[in-house]
Amino acid sequence: MSIYILSKFASKLVNSLRPIAGIVNNHAPEVLTGATCVGSVGIGFAAAIDTKEHLEKEAERPKDRRRAEVVLDTVGDYKRTILVTGLTMACSIGANRISAKRMAALAAGLAAAQKEIAELRTAAEEVVGPDKAEEIQKRAEQKAKYATCGPIFRWKESISGDEFYAPEAEVLRAEMEVERRYQVCNESSVNVFRRELNLGPLGHDIDYVWDRDEPNADVDMPWIIFWHSHEVDMKGEYIMINYYTKPTEEMV
């Protein structure tokens, strides 16, 4: 009966430790690095304790011992320090080896992925042509850039009518930069907004500018103020970016 109870207890203990083992396995380099740091401190404490005990023992030992005996006694007195030092070195070496193996695996995976992407790009060019393939790649790169910034929406800029895809946080960041330049420099432009979103300039040597120093500037409006309206076209819903303060067309 006692053996059965012990086996059940051991089974439950193993099952309870499995999640911890999984965490340790997934974060082995971090765990080993932390153990190395703790071990470095432990070496100092162990050496201090062993030195104190070694001096006490040496005072009681005969002075006419052979050199080999002195070495053996000293090693025995510092066995605690030697053990902690060995474990610390093992943790440090283990962390470096695991990190090196993971980096090698990541590099191999990256090389394989790059090869696969190159082959897919070649196949896409054969099907849709190089111009369309380039557009697909740019769209994919833009979506990958914003992958961690929240959901991506379709936007249109009201002056040019150009559409693009971006998360709301990125558009708001670009709008704040335009407003900041208007407050600090007394001027800003639509091209500044487009540049912040990697859209490229309007083209045809034209820009639309907000300039407080212009005679016809709306000096009573301290902010440009962007506002968004939800619209629908043949492709579906999109968000139109509008400007409460209208900019002035200028040649650049």
| C-alpha 4, offset from chain centre | 50
Max avg pLDDT among 97-106, 109-118, 123-132, 191-200: 191-200
Phi/psi region, residue 61 (left: phi>0; alpha: psi -120 to 50; beta: rest), is beta
| Enclosing H/E stretch for 86 | helix 79-128
Segment 9-21, tens digit of pLDDT:
445 544 544 554 4
| CA nearest to 239, candidates 137, 168, 148, 159 | 168
In this predicted structure, what is the pLDDT of residue 59? 82
Is 57:75 a contact under the CB 8 Å cutoff? no
| CA nearest to 57, candidates 42, 45, 72 | 72
Q: Which two tokens stand for residue 222?
A: 């301290």
In this predicted structure, what is the pLDDT of residue 140? 64
Q: CA 34, CA 45: separation in Å to the nearest integer?
A: 17
Answer yes or no: is pLDDT of 1 > 50. no
What mean pLDDT is predicted for residues 76-89?
82
In this predicted structure, what is the pLDDT of residue 240? 93
Answer yes or no: is pLDDT of 241 > 90. yes
C-alpha to C-alpha distances, 103 to 95, 100, 113, nearest whole angstrom? 12, 5, 15
In this predicted structure, what is the pLDDT of residue 48? 82
Answer yes or no: is pLDDT of 215 > 60. no
By mean pLDDT, which of 41-55, 133-147, 190-204, 233-247 is the weakest?
Answer: 133-147
Segment 148-189, tens digit of pLDDT:
556 889 999 998 888 999 888 889 999 999 988 888 888 889
Which amino acid, one-letter code, is at 92? S
Q: Which residue has the tokens 């090869």?
A: 115
What mean pLDDT is predicted for residues 77-87?
82
In this predicted structure, what is the pLDDT of residue 156? 92
In this predicted structure, what is the pLDDT of residue 13? 44
Number of Cβ atoms within 10 Å of the Cβ of 157: 20
In this predicted structure, what is the pLDDT of residue 31? 66
